Amino acid sequence: EAGVAQSPRYKIIEKRQSVAFWCNPISGHATLYWYQQILGQGPKLLIQFQNNGVVDDSQLPKDRFSAERLKGVDSTLKIQPAKLEDSAVYLCASSSTLAGGFYEQYFGPGTRLTVT
Amino acid sequence: AQSVSQHNHHVILSEAASLELGCNYSYGGTVNLFWYVQYPGQHLQLLLKYFSGDPLVKGIKGFEAEFIKSKFSFNLRKPSVQWSDTAEYFCAVRGGSQGNLIFGKGTKLSVKP
């Protein structure tokens, strides 16, 4: 079974520039998550999709971050414009929804963003 | 609001030493508890989980964790660590069956051969 794919793996941009990250979840997984992991901290959920609908985006800085999952499969996360404090690893995870509500999240390798 | 506290930022052990990583959470209701591990250069992956029942749960690679409800704790243990256990370990909590994962800051474990 192929895992969660993310690209690019690394990205360096200057502040005020735009950047986009791509995620392809495990085949058949209905739920997709984007996390932000700042150095020295644990992952923090930014947004959760169920198929192509948003379930939770309460911690997404909507003035600069946006995400979409148009066909319920791949997803993109965009930052526009980037700030220095956006430097972090952006993790994508996916899960299937099983009976009883338990779902194990499978994580991708992440995209390391450096904003200079 | 839910929160997770991991007591140790960096733990250094010699091979065969015993390991215990502390994790405390703040949440008043039913919780699901997890330990995730990230080996160098690899993805974050689930080590073990607790939902209900026996508070002592066993995971992969000889790890176990004990849920102590009265102490709001879910400490990770391994009787004898190996060099290959060198990794970063994250405790996570999910409030109820539909909540999202809240991660701790992680503990980096370095095992000296």
pLDDT band at A98 (very low <50, low <70, confident <90, very high): low
- Pick the more confident residue, A75 or B31: A75
pLDDT band at B98 (very low <50, low <70, confident <90, very high): low
Question: Stretch B76-100: mean pLDDT, rounded?
Answer: 90
- Pick the more confident residue, A99 or A76: A76
Question: Stretch A92-107: mean pLDDT, rounded?
Answer: 78
The CA distance from B71 to B68, in Å, is: 6
- Pick the more confident residue, A96 or A115: A115
On whether any CB of chain A is under 8 Å from the CB of B39, the answer is: no
| Structure confidence at residue B97 (pLDDT) | 58
Range with the largest mean pLDDT of A7-16, A99-108, B28-37, B98-107: A7-16
Q: B5 φ, ψ to 5°?
A: -120, 125
| Structure confidence at residue B28 (pLDDT) | 76
The CA distance from A61 to A79, in Å, is: 9
| Structure confidence at residue A81 (pLDDT) | 97
pLDDT band at B6 (very low <50, low <70, confident <90, very high): very high
Q: Is pLDDT of B23 > 90?
A: yes
Are A42 and B44 an interchain contact pair (Cβ–Cβ within 8 Å)? no
Question: Stretch A9-15: mean pLDDT, rounded?
Answer: 97
Assign 3-class secondary structure to chain B.
Answer: CCEEEECCCEEEEECCCCEEECEEEECCCCEEEEEEEECCCCCEEEEEEECCCCCEEECHHHCEEEEEHHHCEEEEEECCCCHHHCEEEEEEEEECCCCCEEECCCEEEEEEC
| Structure confidence at residue A99 (pLDDT) | 47
Best of B2, B21, B44, B108 to mutate (most A CBs within 10 Å, chain A) = B44
Q: Is pLDDT of B73 > 90?
A: yes
- Pick the more confident residue, B51 or A38: A38
Instruction: Give the tens place of pLDDT for each residue, A57-79.
Output: 999 999 999 999 988 899 999 99
- Pick the more confident residue, B99 or B39: B39
**Among the partner residues B32, B44, B106, nearest to A107 by beta-carbon distance:** B44
Question: Stretch A4-23: mean pLDDT, rounded?
Answer: 97
| Structure confidence at residue A2 (pLDDT) | 80
Q: Is pLDDT of B96 > 70?
A: no
Nearest to residue A93, comparing CAs of A42, A61, A47? A47
Chain A residues in contact with B42 (beta carbon < 8 A): 109
Best of B25, B47, B100 to mutate (most A CBs within 10 Å, chain A) = B100
Instruction: Give the tens place of pLDDT for each residue, A83-97.
Output: 999 999 999 999 987
